[in-house]
Amino acid sequence: MSDLNSLTYSSSPAPNKSYEGDGFPNGRSLQAATLPLQNDLITLAQAGDHQAFAELYSLHKRRVYSLCLRMVGNVAAAEDLTQEAFLQLHRKIGTFRGEASFSTWLHRIAVNVVLMDLRKKGLQASSLDEAMEPDADSQRPGRSFGAADLTLSGTIDRLALQRAIADLPAGYRLMFVLHDIEGFEHNEIASMVGCSIGTSKSQLHKARMKLRDALRLHPEQEKRR
């Protein structure tokens, strides 16, 4: 990286390598030696070094793209959202002060981009607050008392699960994707989404219960689709 400043922007392909972001629990830590490097990259990018920005893109593109893909379930839309997230990062990187980890801060940007997109499309969430608190009556997950015969049996059908996740209210889906799939801790999610840790936990629980209900109650319906 010693020659970062000597590289020109117009000839700066994003390096073809992919690291995991810092602070990711699912086998996803940046190498210890990479974190100081990332700090240097942030400083350089904040000063307008576009090669440094390209390196930051390479470090984080995978997780941001995966988050978008898992939230919207569509490759083209995920690419658009990833592009928008990194454009916003480019606009805002000068405001990063290191209060949160860089990856949490970047994911906060990506989460807001995804939710804004859902709002534009009128899908389920008109605001982050609403996404976090869907209509209490219609979205209340079922409880499971004395219903051992209604448990899931055998392998979970991929398509049925994919459909059930897609059908979750945006706020529930977000918590499920961030915690159960991406592997973030509740304190990270709370910081990322701007909610309390308790909200993160309860929304995740409701999401899981709704998924279970969807997969348990409608197996025949799913098979017919």
Binding site for other proteins (CB under 8 A): 12-14, 16, 18, 26, 50, 54, 57, 61-63, 65-66, 69-70, 78-79, 82-83, 86-87, 90-91, 143-148, 151-152, 156, 158, 161-162, 165, 176, 179-181, 185-186, 197-198, 200-202, 204-205, 208-209, 211-212, 215-216
Q: How far is the CB of 86 from other proteins (least distance, A)?
A: 5
- What backbone torsions phi and psi does residue 2 show, to the nearest 5 degrees? -65, -25
Q: How far is the CB of 224 from other proteins (least distance, A)?
A: 21
Structure-token pair, residue 29: 């830590």
The smaller minimum CB distance to other proteins, of residues 14 and 37, is found at 14
The smaller minimum CB distance to other proteins, of residues 79 and 126, is found at 79
DSSP for 147-201?
-GGGS--SSPPHHHHHHHHHHS-HHHHHHHIIIIIS---HHHHHHHHTS-HHHHH
Q: How far is the CB of 123 from other proteins (least distance, A)?
A: 19
Q: Give CA–CA dist 41/50, Å, rounded.
A: 10
The smaller minimum CB distance to other proteins, of residues 24 and 102, is found at 24
